[in-house]
Amino acid sequence: MNMRKKLLTGMLAGALIAGAPGVAANEDEPTYGAMAADVVVGRPLGLLATALGTATFIVSLPFSALGGNVEQAAEHLVVKPAEATFVRCLGCKSSGRYLDPDEAE
């Protein structure tokens, strides 16, 4: 296996792991290391997962339409990876905007 295939396989595996967000609001306090790793590794992998999910959704659209589950396919293949990439706070583990514990009721 050449280096390019190994890199792509690793990125896909990471994207699958990073593309499975939680649904709870953020209550964790991101650290500098978590933020730096998220910028360098997490967001690019999330962007890749979003692009691959979108391509998969487009290819599977005729089958999803025939099966009547277009909304579920869009949610799992496009929306969840996009939310994990673009809406999740920098360095947080779960999806959603950062909620400061001190400002919560």
CA dihedral over 34, 37, 38, 42, signed as positive or negative: negative
- Using CB atoms within 10 Å of the CB of residue 65, give its burial: 0 to 12 exposed, 13 to 18 middle, 19+ buried: exposed
- Residue recorded with tokens 């967000």: 21
Digit-coded pLDDT (tens) for 26-71: 446 788 999 999 999 999 999 999 999 999 999 999 999 999 999 9
For position 58, what pLDDT does the model report? Answer: 97
Q: What angle do CA 49, 96, 100 make, to 5 degrees?
A: 140
